[in-house]
Amino acid sequence: MSAPVERGELRYEGKAKRVYATPDPQQYVVEYKDDATAFNGQKRDQILGKGSVNNAITSALYPHLERAGVPTHFIAQLSEREQLVRAVEIIPVEVVVRNVAAGSFSKRLGITEGTLLARPIVEYYYKSDVLGDPLINTDTAISMGWATDEDLSTIKALALKVNAFLTPYFLARDIRLIDFKLEFGKTHDGQIVLADEISPDTCRFWDAVSGERLDKDRFRRDLGNVEGAYQEMLARVTREQA
Ligand code: C5P
């Protein structure tokens, strides 16, 4: 953890996080909340300790990703619920990478959950709470001015690099990385960096042995022991490797 940083005005409040300005215009403080929503905000609750678990997991993963060649917004973990990050403008295109069929992919295409995909699939969604994050393609993003062709090439390459790093990282911890969502932002000098979080809120994690769901699907599908699953994922991430 680092020294406290003075919080300025609230710049953005999402479903799971608040973003504050700091005295340095190139840096923000992100605060992780316990609030959980699913199905475009129709299901709401609190998952006790979720904010601190998601902060701890993201704070552990992002430095590894930096070393693997993925630029990120992460600077330092400040406290149990806070991170210092580089100020970025979020690109309103959510990127989902899938290794195994699950969730909306299975539903949309009628493919049984758990079906292994021949190669990772990268999908794009328009980040819009009002519209419920609809599926788009790259032509839509370019045509609407949400990202350039070049931005999207960079984003796709980085998303696949994240997947190539995280898949064996989690497998070494007996976790199958089924799919996950990433968000990217642009710094003041135009660099595209990985922003947001990587946590049980934004990934599907299945226990490699039992198949048990250790992610937000426990909340979405009323599977019970939501807090326990989040704590278990933190324990696996922070587990010493032999
Ligand atoms: O619901 P769907 O199957 O499309 O989700 C794919 C992956 O993206 C899941 O890991 C889910 O947790 C994540 N996701 C997310 N935020 C969204 C939509 C999906 O983190 N708004």
Instruction: Give the DSSP H or E segment for 171.
Output: helix 149-171
pLDDT at 1: 73
pTM: 0.97
pLDDT at position 72 over 80: yes
Based on the fold, state whether residues 170 and 81 are members of the same structural domain: no
pLDDT in tens, 45-56: 999 999 999 999
- In-domain check, residue 237: no
Q: Do 77 and 66 meet the contact criterion of CB atoms below 8 Å apart? A: no
Question: Coil, strand or helix: which one is 26?
Answer: coil
Spatial separation of the C-alpha atoms in residues 54 and 199, rounded to whole Å? 5
Mean pLDDT computed over every residue of the chain: 97
pLDDT in tens, 116-150: 999 999 999 999 999 999 999 999 999 999 999 99
Q: Report which of 154, 147, 84, 85 is spatially closest to residue 122, judged by C-alpha positions.
A: 154
User: Could you say which of 44, 71, 87 is where a domain stops?
Assistant: 87
Atom of ligand 1 nearest to the CA of 215: 12
Atom of ligand 1 nearest to the CA of 179: 10
Looking at residue 144, which CATH number applies to its domain?
3.30.470.20
Share of the chain above pLDDT 70, in %: 99
Neighbours of 38 (CB within 10 A): 16
Spatial separation of the C-alpha atoms in residues 237 and 174, rounded to whole Å? 10
Based on the fold, state whether residues 215 and 153 are members of the same structural domain: yes
User: What is the 242 CA–ligand 1 centroid distance (Å)?
Assistant: 32
Q: Do 220 and 38 meet the contact criterion of CB atoms below 8 Å apart? A: yes
Instruction: Give the DSSP H or E segment for 93.
Output: strand 93-100
pLDDT at position 66 over 90: yes
